[in-house]
Amino acid sequence: MSCSHCADQTDHEPNPYVLNIEQTAIQNKNFRTTVWTGCHLQMTVMSIPPRGEIGFEVHPNTDQLIRVEQGTAVVKIGECEKHPDHQQKLCAGDAVFIPAGTGHNVVNTGRNALKVSSVYAPPNHKRGTVHPTKADADREEY
């Protein structure tokens, strides 16, 4: 196990692991860093620049929880990227649950980097994934 004050953000795989999620997300400088991957669950942290976004995505077989750790955002949910069925502001401490097969995007509306944590069930990214930028993430996922 790890001390919750450690800033090491490598994927700790399926070993038991303790961390301060908020602190880990706030310290993360990468667009996406995989923190822990198990057989049925995965935790990542993200840093999204001002006016940046996760990008519209659909996980056909994966439920997702996205929690804002620092900053403000808008979540857009629905089948159509340009005309979402649901749109809501998010602030630090807010979370959105996204069922598998549901289109979604999170857009940073603040002046500083948006820091979020995200849980996927089952895992959505390869163990140890680090995407320094959104462009890196887009290249790997498409």
Query: Is 5 a residue whose pLDDT tops 50?
Result: no
The domain total for the chain is 1
- Domain membership flag for residue 107: yes
- Domain membership flag for residue 2: no
- Domain membership flag for residue 109: yes
- Spatial separation of the C-alpha atoms in residues 139 and 142, rounded to whole Å: 6
- Domain membership flag for residue 49: yes
- Domain membership flag for residue 13: no
Is pTM beyond 0.85? Reply is yes
| % of the chain exceeding 90 in pLDDT | 80
pLDDT classification of 3: cutoffs 50, 70, 90: very low
42 Cβ contact partners less than 8 Å away, ≥ 6 residues apart:
34, 36, 119, 120, 121, 122, 123, 124, 125
The mean pLDDT of the chain is 91
- Domain membership flag for residue 74: yes
pLDDT digits (tens, 9 = 90+) for 28-50: 999 999 999 999 999 999 999 99
- What is the structure's pLDDT at 9? 54
- For residue 75, the domain's CATH number is 2.60.120.10
- Domain membership flag for residue 9: no
SS3 category, 64: strand
- Domain membership flag for residue 4: no
**Mean pLDDT within 93-120:** 98
Domain containing residue 82: 21-141
105's enclosing H/E stretch is strand 104-108
